[in-house]
């Protein structure tokens, strides 16, 4: 399905993830790597709205998504990259597709947590929402140097209202679109976790 020409970046992201989650909830066992990769690459539009301090987060996220898109020429599904790395004992190896999938999943979860915080802290700052989200989702997996750099970058985040206007949303529409992404991404994140768990791979890395 083609996304509306007048869709906002956020509604395009929500739409793409709703399509993915419908596939999963319809009982589809195999998620195509190319479909997943294109949905994940839409997310990078949001980085531009967060300001220059998150340029390095963007480079990090985009590199990993591009690795998965590149891998889709060789591997059809998310399962098959896991199976291949399990066979070669390279699941946790730096740069492996399975490791990069794990990182991209972290990015999707971070955005989900940020949106959730954004919605529950209506009078709070974006910095506080992002700090809470990052602390819960990513910080446990990041070393001290990265946590410190992210903490410094938080001061350069835009205000809530700046973010809403950069996203081309209104106070009302932003809530609707964030909620759509939260609801759609949750089953996808769970689906990815299950790929590891069902292969006896722990998620503590
Ligand atoms: C939702 C926006 C909230 C804003 C604040 C959060 C900023 C998060 C900054 C994350 C910086 C990532 C720094 C690099 C971490 C890497 O060490 C690890 C491991 O990589 P590897 O060793 O496997 O090569 N990479 C990750 O953990 C990937 C994390 C992806 C986070 C992407 C952020 C997505 C934010 C989207 C905003 C629109």
Q: What is the pLDDT of residues 159-185, one digit of tens each?
A: 999 999 999 999 999 999 999 999 999
How many Å lie between the centroid of ligand 1 and the Cα of residue 60? 6
Q: Is 61 in the pocket of ligand 1 (CB under 6 A)?
A: yes
Q: What is the ipTM of this complex?
A: 0.90
Q: 202 in a domain, yes or no?
A: no
Q: 93 in a domain, yes or no?
A: yes
- Average pLDDT score over residue span 144-167: 95
What is the spatial distance between Cα 143 and Cα 22, in angstroms, rounded to a whole number? 36
Local confidence band at 157 (pLDDT 50, 70, 90 cut-offs) = very high
pLDDT at 76: 96
Local confidence band at 3 (pLDDT 50, 70, 90 cut-offs) = low
The ligand 1 atom nearest the CA atom of 104: 30
Q: 17 in a domain, yes or no?
A: yes
Q: Is the dihedral of CA 30, 60, 159, 150 positive or negative?
A: positive
Integer-rounded Cα Rg, in Å, for the chain is: 17
Q: 1 in a domain, yes or no?
A: no
Q: 4 in a domain, yes or no?
A: no
Number of domains in the chain: 1
Residues making up the chain, counted from first to last: 205
Q: What is the pLDDT of residues 11-65, one digit of tens each?
A: 999 999 999 999 999 988 789 999 999 999 999 888 889 887 788 889 999 999 9
**CATH code of the domain in which 25 resides:** 1.10.3520.10
Quote the domain boundaries for residue 31.
9-197
Q: Is 62 in the pocket of ligand 1 (CB under 6 A)?
A: no
What is the spatial distance between Cα 63 and Cα 55, in angstroms, rounded to a whole number? 12
- As a three-state string, the secondary structure of the chain is CCCCCCCCHHHHHHHHHHHHHHHHHCCCCCCEHHHHHHHHHHCCHHHHHHCHHHHHHHHHHHHHHHHHHHHCCCCCEHHHHHHHHHHHCCCCCCCCHHHHHHHHHHHHHHHHHHHHHHHHCCCCCHHHHHHHHHHHHCHHHCCHHHHHHHHHHHHHCCCHHHHHHHCCCCHHHHHHHHHHHHHHHHHHHHHHHHHHHCCCCCCCC
Q: Is 101 in the pocket of ligand 1 (CB under 6 A)?
A: no
By C-alpha distance, which of 58, 78, 59 is closest to 68?
Answer: 78
pLDDT at 63: 97
With a pLDDT cut of 90, the percent of the chain lying above it is: 87
Q: Mean pLDDT of all residues in the chain?
A: 94
Q: 77 has which bridge partners?
A: 32
pLDDT at 168: 96
Q: 50 in a domain, yes or no?
A: yes
Res 6 pLDDT > 80: no
- Average pLDDT score over residue span 81-97: 98
Q: Is 139 in the pocket of ligand 1 (CB under 6 A)?
A: no
Q: 153 in a domain, yes or no?
A: yes
Q: 109 in a domain, yes or no?
A: yes
Q: What is the pLDDT of residues 107-120, one digit of tens each?
A: 999 999 999 999 99
pLDDT at 30: 87
């Amino acid at each position: 399905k083609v996304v509306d020409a007048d869709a906002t970046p956020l509604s395009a992201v929500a739409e793409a993830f709703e399509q993915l989650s419908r596939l999963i909830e319809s009982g589809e066992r195999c998620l195509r790597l190319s479909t997943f990769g294109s949905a994940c690459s839409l997310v990078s539009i949001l980085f531009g709205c967060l300001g220059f301090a998150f340029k390095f987060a963007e480079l990090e996220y985009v590199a990993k998504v591009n690795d998965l898109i590149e891998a889709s020429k060789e591997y059809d599904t998310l399962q098959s990259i896991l199976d291949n790395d399990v066979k070669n004992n390279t699941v946790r190896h730096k740069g492996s597709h399975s490791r990069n999938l794990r990182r991209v999943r972290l990015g999707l979860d971070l955005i989900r947590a940020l949106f959730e915080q954004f919605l529950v802290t209506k009078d709070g700052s974006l910095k506080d929402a992002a700090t809470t989200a990052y602390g819960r989702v990513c910080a446990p997996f990041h070393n001290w140097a990265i946590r410190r750099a992210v903490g410094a970058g938080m001061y350069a985040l835009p205000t809530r209202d700046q973010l809403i206007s950069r996203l081309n949303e209104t106070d009302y529409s932003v809530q609707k679109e964030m909620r759509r992404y939260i609801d759609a991404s949750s089953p996808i994140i769970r689906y990815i976790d299950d790929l590891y768990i069902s292969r006896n791979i722990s998620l503590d890395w």
